[in-house]
C-alpha cells in the first residue's frame, strides 16, 4: 500500500475533533459575542451558529449554495466559516471595486493550511505574498514565458501536439472506440506544456500513461480546495494532528520529484558539455540562474502544470458537452471552420485563424460563462480594513468572487441557463480581465499569467475536434440526457466524464 493509500479517505471531516472543540466551546461563545458586536459594519449575511458559523450552509457545492444565499442577502455578503470572516462577491460592479479600485488592498491570497504545510505558499506565484519575489516571477511569466513573441515562436510545437491528438482520435474512429474527452484533452494540454517547458512529452494517449499525472493534479487541487479545521479555527494551527500526513503535501511532493529529475537531468547534460540548447522555458531559467534558484523553478513548474493542464482540459470537456447537447450549435461552429479551411491547403487550423473564427470564439466565451474553471477564482485576503459599498471588509478577511454565480445572473444575462454562443456575437465582451461580467481567469495584477497560452490552446484544440470529426454518444444516450453534474474543487470538473465515439465526416 503506497503512502497516499494509507491516508484516511476523509481526513477533512470534522467528527474526530468535536471533543476538542467542545473544550473550547465556552471561550468560543464569548469570542463569538464580542466578534458580533465588533463586526456590526460587515456586509449582510446569514446568521451563523456559535463556533462553526455558517459552515453548514457551505455545502458540497459551495458556489451554488452561496449563489442562492446572495439572492437573499445581496451581492456583497459576509459569512463566518468557523472563526474566519469570508466576504462573497457576486456582482461585476462590486468585483471591479475589489480588483481594480482597491487592487492593492486585496493583492494577497488566502492560502489554505494544506498549501502552507510544505511552505508551498512561500514559493508559488499563485499563493505567495505580493512582494519582490512575486513581482520577479510575474515579470518572468508575462514578459518571457507567455509574451506574444514567445508564444508565436512556439506555435509549431502546439500544432504538432494537436495533430497527435487528431491522429489518436482518428484511430478511435477507425476502431469505433469510445474515448474520454477530458482525458484526451488533458494529455494534449500536458504535452503542450511539457514541450513548451522542457521539450519532452510527459504522457501518451492511453489510460495508464496520463492517469497517474492527472490523478496527482486532481487530488492535489481537490485537497487544496477543502478547508481543514486549522483553516476554520486558526487557534488549532499548532494542534493540528494531521499536519505531517496532509494529502496536499503528499501529492505536491510527488509532482515536485518529477520536476526535480527533469531539472537535474538538464543540469547534468550541461555539465557534461553536451550541446542540447532547446530554447525552452527550462533553458531560459537556467540561463538566468543568478535570478532563479532550482527551488524557484520547481515550484513555478508545479504551479503552471496544476493550473494549465486541469483548467484547459476541463473547459474543453465542458465545451464539447455543451456542443453535443446542442446539435445546431456544433453544426454552426463546424460550418464556420470548414468555410475558413476551404482556402487552407493542409486543412489544419492555425493560431492566426482564431481571429476569423468569431462563432468559435463565442462558443469558448459561453462555455467559460457557464462553467468557469475556478468558480471562486483563487481566494484573496484583505491586507487591512477597507470601506466598500458602505460596509467594512475587515483585515485578514477571505475574499471569494463567485464568478459562477455572475455567469448565471439573469440581471446580467438573458436566459442565463441556456447555452447560447450567439449572445457574444453582437457585444464586445471578452475574458481578458477588462469586462467584469466575464472574468474566469481573474482580473487585475493577479489574474492568470497563462491566459494568452490557454486562449490559443482552447481554440485550436476545440476547432480541430469539431472540424475533423462528428461525435456520437455511447449506447442509447440522447444528447439532451448528457449528465452535466459538477464536481467541486479548485477547478470545476464534470462529475461524469464525457464518453463519445468519433465519426469521420
> Which residue bears the cell 473544550?
23
Q: Measure the CA–CA gap between 175 and 326, rounded to whole angstroms.
A: 26
Q: Measure the CA–CA gap between 456 and 452, rounded to whole angstroms.
A: 6
Kindly report the number of other CB atoms within 10 A of residue 163's CB atom: 13
Q: In what order do the strands lie in the sheet with 76-81?
A: 76-81, 84-89, 398-401, 380-381
Residue 173 labeled ligand binder: no
Contact 133, 417 (CB under 8 A): no
Phi, psi dihedral angles at 440 (to 5 degrees) = -65, -20
Within 8 A by CB and 6+ apart from 48, the residues are: 54, 55, 57, 79, 80
Residue 490 corresponds to which cell in the numbers above? 479548485
Q: Measure the CA–CA gap between 74 and 411, rounded to whole angstroms.
A: 13
Angle at which helices 327-341 and 294-325 pack, to 10 degrees?
110
Q: Measure the CA–CA gap between 10 and 20, rounded to whole angstroms.
A: 18
- Binding-site positions read 448
- Binding-site positions for heme read 448
Amino acid at each position: 500500500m503506497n503512502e497516499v493509500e494509507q491516508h484516511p479517505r476523509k481526513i477533512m471531516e470534522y467528527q474526530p475533533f468535536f471533543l476538542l472543540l467542545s473544550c473550547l466551546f465556552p471561550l468560543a461563545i464569548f469570542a463569538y459575542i464580542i466578534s458580533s458586536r465588533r463586526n456590526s459594519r460587515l456586509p449582510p449575511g446569514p446568521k451563523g451558529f456559535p463556533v462553526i458559523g455558517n459552515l453548514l450552509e457551505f455545502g458540497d457545492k459551495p458556489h451554488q449554495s452561496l449563489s442562492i444565499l446572495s439572492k437573499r442577502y445581496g451581492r456583497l455578503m459576509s459569512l463566518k466559516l468557523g472563526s474566519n470572516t469570508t466576504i462573497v462577491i457576486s456582482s461585476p460592479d462590486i468585483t471591479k471595486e475589489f480588483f481594480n479600485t482597491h487592487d492593492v488592498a486585496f493583492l494577497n491570497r488566502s492560502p489554505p493550511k494544506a498549501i502552507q504545510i510544505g511552505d508551498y505558499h512561500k514559493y508559488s506565484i499563485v499563493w505567495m505574498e505580493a512582494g519582490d519575489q512575486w513581482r520577479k516571477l510575474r515579470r518572468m511569466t508575462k514578459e518571457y514565458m507567455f509574451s506574444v513573441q514567445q508564444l508565436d515562436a512556439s506555435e509549431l510545437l502546439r500544432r504538432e501536439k494537436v495533430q497527435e491528438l487528431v491522429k489518436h482520435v482518428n484511430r478511435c474512429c477507425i476502431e469505433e472506440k469510445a474515448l474520454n474527452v477530458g482525458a484526451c484533452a488533458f494529455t494534449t494540454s500536458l504535452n503542450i506544456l511539457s514541450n513548451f517547458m522542457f521539450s519532452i512529452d510527459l504522457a501518451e494517449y492511453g489510460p495508464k500513461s496520463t492517469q497517474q499525472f492527472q490523478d496527482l493534479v486532481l487530488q492535489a487541487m481537490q485537497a487544496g480546495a477543502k478547508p481543514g479545521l486549522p483553516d476554520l479555527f486558526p487557534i488549532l494551527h499548532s494542534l493540528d494532528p494531521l499536519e505531517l500526513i496532509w494529502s496536499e503535501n503528499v501529492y505536491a511532493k510527488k509532482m515536485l520529484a518529477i520536476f526535480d529529475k527533469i531539472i537535474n537531468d538538464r543540469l547534468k547534460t550541461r555539465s557534461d558539455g553536451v550541446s542540447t540548447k532547446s530554447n525552452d522555458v527550462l533553458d531560459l531559467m537556467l540561463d538566468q540562474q543568478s535570478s532563479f534558484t532550482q527551488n524557484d523553478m520547481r515550484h513555478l513548474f508545479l504551479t503552471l502544470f496544476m493550473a494549465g493542464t486541469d483548467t484547459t482540459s476541463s473547459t474543453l470537456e465542458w465545451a464539447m458537452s455543451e456542443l453535443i447537447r446542442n446539435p445546431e450549435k456544433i453544426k454552426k461552429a463546424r460550418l464556420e471552420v470548414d468555410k475558413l479551411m476551404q482556402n487552407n491547403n493542409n486543412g489544419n487550423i492555425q493560431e492566426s485563424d482564431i481571429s476569423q473564427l468569431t462563432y468559435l470564439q463565442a462558443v469558448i466565451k459561453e462555455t467559460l460563462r457557464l462553467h468557469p474553471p475556478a468558480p471562486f477564482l483563487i481566494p484573496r485576503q484583505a491586507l487591512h480594513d477597507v470601506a466598500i459599498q458602505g460596509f467594512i471588509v475587515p483585515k485578514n478577511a477571505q475574499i471569494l468572487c463567485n464568478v459562477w454565480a455572475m455567469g448565471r445572473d439573469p440581471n446580467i444575462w438573458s436566459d442565463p441557463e441556456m447555452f447560447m454562443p450567439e449572445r457574444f456575437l453582437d457585444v464586445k465582451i471578452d475574458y481578458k480581465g477588462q469586462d467584469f461580467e466575464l472574468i474566469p481567469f481573474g482580473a487585475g495584477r493577479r489574474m492568470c499569467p497563462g491566459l494568452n497560452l490557454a486562449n490559443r490552446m482552447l481554440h485550436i484544440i476545440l476547432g480541430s475536434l469539431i472540424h475533423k470529426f462528428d461525435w456520437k454518444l455511447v449506447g442509447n444516450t440522447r444528447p439532451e440526457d448528457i449528465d452535466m453534474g459538477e464536481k467541486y474543487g479548485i477547478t470545476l470538473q464534470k462529475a461524469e466524464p464525457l464518453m463519445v465515439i468519433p465519426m469521420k465526416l
